[in-house]
Amino acid sequence: MHEKYVLQLEGIRKAYGENVVLDDVSLRVKPGEIHALLGENGAGKSTLMNILFGMRVIHDTGGYDGVVKISGEEVKFTAPTDALAAGIGMVHQEFMLIPGFTITENIKLGREDTAPTVASRIFGKSLERLDREKMDGDARRSLDSIGMGIEEHVRVAGLPVGYMQFVEIAREIDKLGIKLLVFDEPTAVLTEGEATQLLEVMNTITQKGIAIIFITHRLSEVMDAAHNMTVLRDGELVGTKPIAETNLAEIAEMMVGRSIENLGIAADGEESDAPIAISVRDLHVDMPGERVRGVSFDVREGEIFGIGGMAGQGKVGIANGISGLFSAEGSVTAFGQPLNLSRLGEALEHGIAFVSEDRRGVGLLLDESIAYNIMFRVMTTQREFLSRFGPIKLLNRRKMQQHADDMIKLLDIRCRSGRQKVGTLSGGNQQKVCLASALTAKPKLLIVSEPTRGIDIGAKELILNYLTKLREEEGLTVIMISSELGELRSLCDRIAIVADGKIVNILPPNATDAEYGLAMSAVSAEEAGKVVQS
């Protein structure tokens, strides 16, 4: 009999001690379906997937209640290998790739094709020799099926991030008898073009009858690609709906549980006459993929200055150049003093804090506690949270704990305690830790790069509101770099649009869509004026 559902999760309940993280959650996925799994950070998506994959963390904490059925048969996985054997695969958010291996070796990782040898007949299969020709052939086929032209014997180290994602997918597709693939925020690290390609690939995969569970924060992608969607909130099932019968606003409401108010009130775009906070002149930044080729602008104190533009045009490069993470030329004057761009930490000493878009890479120490992450910056630069005993400096644990608790409360960081390792937090909460860390330095100017990338609507709203509040109450100057124009327009006083490494135009938030569109496609102010008027 042909089973209707490839996966059924019925009445799943999971508690860590007293804390119930999943309560009576059900999910049904048909073959060949793309099923979006949505929810805020901490809504229980990861726990649900951990149960599905039989991760050890579930068993170590007392297992779960409820039924998991694969193709109609009840299963109870006790190890990830069981899930793999049953035809369930996962495309991880962090790449499970080995840089020193070739693409073929990575695709075939743990499932190498082998041919028997004399020794294997005596000592067992683990001494069979690798059949590299067959491995290469299979890898080639998998890569071709998702439209990747790259050579299969290239090493993974040094490949662009997007390619690594596709190698991961090729690996899952290569598995025999794969029935269900879980994509965990696959587009979070991809450029727009790569993301579009990925959605196409997902479509191709489902045409082979493989089902996909698609976890993402980008609701527009859900609307484009998914067939059905399930929303979780605070560990409970909010609802399951076909995409055709819903819309963006409804999904957003289901996730947050309240309708989203319009953020802030758009300013009129006039430059105030407050003193200049930072003055950038002819800035060139050599950041691969985000090159800046001569940018000049002034930001006045108390202003929220937005920088927008397409991915890869250089908007992210500006912030990385000012903070000294990538080599930069040009002159930057902050609060009247020139900045030495070649020194890491120089910006911070001048009261400029930077929240990086690459929070896992450079923003956070993943193996350290939340408290330490929030405070190590000021410890090294401003010698705070340290008790002095003559020449000996010790961490002032009590003060640290106090401050961490304050920040956790203020920014609603969802965690067990300030001692939890940052690496175990979800993306949105990591972003909040980054922000807390930057704010702890009591900066006069805050540069936030992609503050809402990969995080859910609730967290996004909280962060944006908090930025506005800081500006109003403490006169903080903010430079906000974002790919989401809507976000910039609802928050900023003025928005610079960057294209091809240069500022094309500085627009007020109430400028028309046409003006923004033209600026993004690198049509300068004067030309734009002509086009708009005509």
Partner 1 sequence: MNNKVRDFLFENKVVLLFLSITLFAFWASGLSTVVFFSELFTRFGRNTFMVLALLIPVIAGLGLNFGIVVGAMAAQISMFLVILWGGDGVSGIFSVALLATPIAIVLGYLVGRLFNSMKGSEMIGGMVTSLFADGFYQFLFLFVFGGIIPIAYARLMTSTGVGVLNAIDLGDMRQALDNISMFHILNVSFFVMLAFVALLLIYRLVKKQPIKMFGPTGLIKPLVILGFLLIGYILTWTVTPFLLFTYENRLNGVYASRLVAIIISAVQIYHIIRDIRDEKRPGLPIKRFVILGLVAVGFLVTLLPEISNGLAHVRIPVFTYMIIGGLCLFIKWFINTRLGQNMRTIGQDRNVATAAGINVDRTRIIAMIMSTVLAAYGQIIIIQSFGVMTTYGAHMNVGLYAIAALLVGGATVTRASVKHAIIGVLLFHSLFILAPAASTNLMGAALFGEYFRVFAANAVIALALIMHAWKRVKKRKNEKAKATAA
Query: In the complex, which residues of this chain contact partner 1 (CB under 8 A)?
Result: 80-81, 84, 92, 96-101, 105, 109-112, 114-115, 117-121, 125-130, 323-325, 344-345, 347-348, 354-356, 358, 361-365, 376-377, 380-381, 434
Cα separation, 299 vs 301, in Å, equals 7
What distance lies between CA 483 and its chain's CA centroid?
13
72 or 289: whose CB is closer to partner 1?
Answer: 289
Block residue for tokens 């135009």: 505
Calculate the alpha carbon distances from 144 to 133, 151, 173 in Å. Answer: 16, 10, 11
Answer left, alpha or beta for residue 518, where phi above 0 means left and psi between -120 and 50 means alpha: alpha
Contact of 228 with 33, CB cutoff 8 Å: yes
Cα separation, 399 vs 266, in Å, equals 39
CB of 1 to partner 1, least distance (A): 30
365 or 532: whose CB is closer to partner 1?
Answer: 365
Hey, is 423 helix, strand or coil? Answer: helix
Calculate the alpha carbon distances from 468 to 26, 132, 161, 334 in Å. Answer: 39, 58, 33, 21
Among 189, 259, 246, smallest CA distance to 218 is for 189
Cα separation, 96 vs 238, in Å, equals 32
354 or 516: whose CB is closer to partner 1?
Answer: 354
State the SS3 of 145-213: HCCCCCCCCCECCCCCHHHHHHHHHHHHHHCCCCCEEEEECCCCCCCHHHHHHHHHHHHHHHHCCCEEE
119 or 274: whose CB is closer to partner 1?
Answer: 119
Question: At residue 104, what are phi and psi to the nearest 5 degrees?
Answer: -55, -50
Mark 484-493 as b/e (b = at least 16 C-beta within 10 Å).
ebebbbbbbb
221 or 357: whose CB is closer to partner 1?
Answer: 357
CB of 324 to partner 1, least distance (A): 5
Cα separation, 285 vs 295, in Å, equals 9
130 or 531: whose CB is closer to partner 1?
Answer: 130
CB of 203 to partner 1, least distance (A): 26
What distance lies between CA 113 and its chain's CA centroid?
34
109 or 514: whose CB is closer to partner 1?
Answer: 109
Quick count: other Cβ atoms within 10 Å of Cβ 495? 26
109 or 248: whose CB is closer to partner 1?
Answer: 109
CB of 357 to partner 1, least distance (A): 9
Cα separation, 165 vs 485, in Å, equals 26
12 or 441: whose CB is closer to partner 1?
Answer: 441
CB of 342 to partner 1, least distance (A): 12
Residue 140 contacts by C-beta under 8 Å, 6 or more apart in sequence? 152
- Extract the tokens encoding 66: 């409820």
Q: What is the DSSP letter of 301?
A: T
Block residue for tokens 């908090």: 466
Cα separation, 76 vs 60, in Å, equals 15
Among 226, 222, 223, smallest CA distance to 211 is for 226
CB of 240 to partner 1, least distance (A): 29
Calculate the alpha carbon distances from 464 to 158, 427, 489 in Å. Answer: 35, 16, 12
CB of 41 to partner 1, least distance (A): 21
377 or 502: whose CB is closer to partner 1?
Answer: 377
- Measure the CA angle with vertex 459, ends 454 and 463; round to 5°: 105
CB of 380 to partner 1, least distance (A): 6
CB of 351 to partner 1, least distance (A): 14
CB of 163 to partner 1, least distance (A): 17
Residue 527 contacts by C-beta under 8 Å, 6 or more apart in sequence? 518
127 or 522: whose CB is closer to partner 1?
Answer: 127
CB of 325 to partner 1, least distance (A): 6
CB of 423 to partner 1, least distance (A): 12
163 or 376: whose CB is closer to partner 1?
Answer: 376
CB of 449 to partner 1, least distance (A): 9
115 or 394: whose CB is closer to partner 1?
Answer: 115
Block residue for tokens 């003093």: 337
